[in-house]
Structure 1
């Protein structure tokens, strides 16, 4: 069914790089963690830079693919690996991760996000679908979403269908009554399309489409989504 003929009742949103710029946040969180480690476990930052610790997550995922979708567990396990490699027999990975996690959720929303979500929430059911571990309660957006789902909860990351299917069941809607909005052509556009959702690509940096089936719509900021929805609604009337 052409998306302009859909009767859209719900919108699911990606989080990182859709509602905020994630990499400056992650880099800052990694540096704060590194500083914390220097005070309590100095042997780790003496041998591992913040980037080294991030790359250690990839090593963990290669060895333990069953936890590759769980970014919290990957970070904790990478820290434990680093501690063991420099000779610490006792290491508080939970306390270390708490430092990172608090800073990881200190995000700065794109200016268009909160007002747009507040308006959309008056007309549609909103939910979030994320491969990351952001916490909307800490960020202060949870009141605008009916629910939030991440890869940790369902045990599978986008573009795999499980997260989308879980959202569809919780919404109690047909796939054609839902659109998914996100920045990633594979995780969000391909994943949402394969699940039968309408799709909107958030292309804030105005990149060229990388190829393959395009999203049903492309927007440069979240405020443009309202115009897209209004246009689709007028064509379905």
Structure 2
């Protein structure tokens, strides 16, 4: 069976377009410092690890938390305030502090030029389980459609969010390449939705044997070169 030509490229965001771990650590530190000033009872009772444990405890209590990480973090802070007698209303401001720090990402060096090059020949979109703000980050103009699990109401690897992005771009799943770093959420998820799946391996990781992407990449320029190959 002949593989149809790729008309669109969809991207994961975290650890595909920018590294995430250091960003989350910095954002959590910034939030904790804010809490120490504005809700000191929380930091007197909970360490950062304690807040992470509370978040893990809350995760299975509401199906929404599986796809809305903002809501999960806000619920965690609210519960911590309730246990400490702090003002829960201030946690919206706390989440604004966290979100600003969470959006202070530094894209990999190839991202700006790679997206610009790919965008000349293909429709571009994004599908993410996180709640990064592409407008705040400065990359939104590259994408015709961007889907975040929080707004959509389901998360990868649910086929629905991949298919919705394809529909928004006006392309068939088989005409779409999805690129992400997570073997299960991104590669297997996209394949199960009928898309072609590329694995972005920026950190020298190893794929499980049962995960077979259409191609492996380390930069966006690798994607551009792969797409330019003769059929």
**Shared topology, TM-score over 0.5?**
yes
Equivalent residues of 1:14, 1:128 under 8 A apart:
yes
Note the 1:108-127 alignment, pairs <5 A: 108-127=106-125
Relative to structure 1, the CA distance from residue 89 to residue 108 in structure 2 (aligned partners, 3 Å threshold; closer, same or farther) is closer
CA distance in 1 between partners of 2:178 and 2:88 (Å)? 44
Normalising by structure 1, report the TM-score. 0.94
User: Shift in Å at residue 32 of structure 1?
Assistant: 0.4
Q: 2:39 aligned with 1:38, yes or no?
A: no
Q: 2:219 aligned with 1:217, yes or no?
A: no
Task: Give aligned pairs, total.
Answer: 231
Tell me which residue corresponds to 2:163.
Answer: 165
Following TM superposition, the consecutive aligned residue runs of length 4 or more in structure 1 with deviations greater than 6 angstroms are: none
Q: 1:194 aligns with which of 192, 197, 214?
A: 192
Q: 1:53 aligns with which of 41, 51, 54?
A: 51
Structure 2 SS opposite 1:159: coil
Q: Deviations over 1:50-102 (max 9, x none)?
A: 23323322222111123321011111100001111112254411101000000
Q: 2:174 aligned with 1:176, yes or no?
A: yes
Equivalent residues of 1:154, 1:162 under 8 A apart:
no
Note the 1:144-159 alignment, pairs <5 A: 144-159=142-157
CA distance in 2 between partners of 1:156 and 1:96 (Å)? 25
User: Shift in Å at residue 172 of structure 1?
Assistant: 1.6
CA distance in 2 between partners of 1:129 and 1:55 (Å)? 28
Q: Deviations over 1:124-169 (max 9, x none)?
A: 1100000000010000000100021011121111001110111121
Q: 2:84 aligns with which of 75, 83, 86?
A: 86
Point out where structure 2 has 5 or more consecutive residues left out of the alignment.
Answer: none
Note the 1:222-233 alignment, pairs <5 A: 222-231=220-229
CA distance in 2 between partners of 1:89 and 1:134 (Å)? 26
Point out where structure 1 has 5 or more consecutive residues left out of the alignment.
Answer: none
Q: Deviations over 1:103-135 (max 9, x none)?
A: 000001010111100111111110000000001
CA distance in 2 between partners of 1:52 and 1:63 (Å)? 18
Tell me which residue corresponds to 2:139.
Answer: 141
